[in-house]
């Protein structure tokens, strides 16, 4: 009997990929850093969540129309973990992990009795490692337990994606790579702003009493002024307004009033521009009212559309694999395709105007064609 074997790939390394001396294990510190980055900088978390939502919905279409209702019902009702439902819920969490860590993993859960798809599970990519199998196009998956690498027995039930992996690498690159250094500076500025307002924002007063030349009873008067001032400040905390009346030469100043706080608008905006350039999110989508022209906003929306198309290409094979597995186990194997909803980031009025102009242009083309046919 002839046994087919895969031809060796000449460019593939014969050595296992290692990270910090442990085979096939990505850097765990990097994952914790990216989680903390999303928690510390709301703009980064909002941008990634916005990308997931803007990627949009989809519909899995079967070539056999008679099987389409069954496929639609699966996509809408398949359980995802303990609380989720629908294939869209699974891919939303899957894409969120892909953007944050550069990798995403999930599993198709089978019912061992009926051999049907029972649900889907979004795995923690920080606990999963990947290694080449007998050939570089085949993968083995390992789960880390107690410091040991345990080989998963059914790799065909696992879906794994990596975001823009370097040539020859198994693991992808997080969208947040390069942002920790900038975010550290940004957070330092915000921390300094908070400290400055704690010092200068909570207004404190300097009450100076200048006694008469003879200095008689100056000590007693100073104590009375201090007591009256303290009573007035205490009453203000409870909403009571009291006037302060003093006899003699009394000078009242706000401590630190002559010192101006640093203007942080320019450095903060420069840092935010760098962050948004990496995330490819237009500022107006995150509520940043930066001055921009209408044409610039349209160009930014077009750039974001191309980014969303790229993420859709990452998700499409995952969606197809899950749907094909369901259909095969249901005894209905067929060709599938994913139809994504149109990405609409433009103003509805502008889109309607564009459709009107296209219709007018089409009408003129048809009219010219008829005129040409008459002359012929």
Nearest CA to 33 among 183, 139, 215?
183
User: pLDDT per residue over 302-354, tens digit each?
Assistant: 778 888 899 999 999 999 999 999 999 988 888 899 999 887 765 455 556 66
Say what the pTM is.
Answer: 0.73
Cβ-contact 280, 328 below 8 angstroms: no
Tokens (6 digits) for 167: 């040539």
Cβ neighbours, 10 Å, residue 81 = 16
Rounded to whole angstroms, the Cα distance separating 182 from 272 reads 9
CA-derived radius of gyration, the chain: 33
Residue by residue, DSSP assigns 325-364 as HHHHHTT----EEEEEPPP--S-HHHHHHHHHHHHHHHHH
Coil vs helix vs strand at 132: strand
Coil vs helix vs strand at 200: helix
Question: Looking at residue 151, what is its pLDDT?
Answer: 87
Q: How far is CA 112 from the centre of its chain?
A: 36
Q: Which residue has the tokens 């249901």?
A: 330
User: pLDDT per residue over 15-68, tens digit each?
Assistant: 444 433 344 455 667 888 899 889 988 899 999 999 999 898 999 999 888 899
Question: Looking at residue 15, what is its pLDDT?
Answer: 46
77: confidence class by pLDDT, cuts 50, 70, 90: very high
Q: How far is CA 69 from the centre of its chain?
A: 33
267: confidence class by pLDDT, cuts 50, 70, 90: confident
């Amino acid at each position: 009997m002839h046994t087919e074997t895969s031809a060796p790939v000449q460019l593939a390394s014969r050595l296992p990929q290692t990270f910090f001396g442990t085979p096939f294990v990505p850097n765990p510190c990097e994952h914790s850093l990216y989680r903390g980055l999303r928690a510390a900088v709301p703009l980064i978390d909002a941008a990634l969540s916005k990308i997931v939502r803007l990627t949009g919905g989809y519909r899995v279409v079967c070539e056999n129309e008679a099987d389409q209702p069954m496929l639609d019902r699966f996509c809408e009702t398949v359980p995802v973990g303990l609380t989720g439902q629908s294939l869209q819920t699974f891919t939303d969490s899957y894409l969120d992990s892909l953007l944050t860590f550069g990798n995403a993993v999930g599993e198709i859960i089978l019912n061992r009795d009926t051999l049907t798809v029972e649900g889907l599970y979004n795995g923690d990519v920080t606990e999963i490692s990947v290694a080449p199998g007998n050939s570089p196009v085949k993968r083995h998956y390992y789960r880390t337990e107690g410091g040991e690498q345990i080989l998963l027995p059914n790799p065909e039930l696992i879906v794994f994606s990596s975001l823009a992996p370097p040539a020859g690498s198994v693991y992808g690159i997080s969208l947040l790579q390069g942002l920790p250094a900038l975010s550290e500076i940004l957070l330092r500025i915000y921390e300094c702003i908070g400290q400055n307002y704690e010092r200068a924002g909570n207004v404190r007063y300097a009450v100076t009493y200048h006694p008469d030349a003879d200095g008689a009873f100056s000590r007693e008067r100073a104590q009375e002024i201090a007591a009256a001032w303290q009573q007035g400040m205490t009453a203000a905390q409870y909403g009571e307004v009291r006037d302060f009346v003093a006899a003699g030469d009394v000078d009242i100043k706000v401590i630190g009033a002559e010192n101006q706080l640093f203007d942080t608008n320019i450095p903060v905006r420069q840092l935010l521009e760098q962050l948004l350039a990496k995330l490819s999110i237009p500022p107006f989508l995150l509520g940043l009212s930066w001055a921009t022209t209408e044409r610039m906003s349209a160009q930014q929306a077009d750039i974001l559309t191309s980014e969303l198309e790229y993420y859709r290409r990452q998700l499409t094979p995952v969606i197809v694999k899950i749907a094909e597995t369901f259909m095969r186990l249901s005894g209905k194997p067929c060709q599938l395709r994913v139809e994504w909803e149109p990405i609409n980031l433009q103003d509805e009025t502008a889109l309607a105007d564009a459709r009107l102009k296209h219709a007018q242009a089409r009408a003129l083309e048809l009219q010219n064609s008829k005129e040409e046919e008459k002359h012929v």
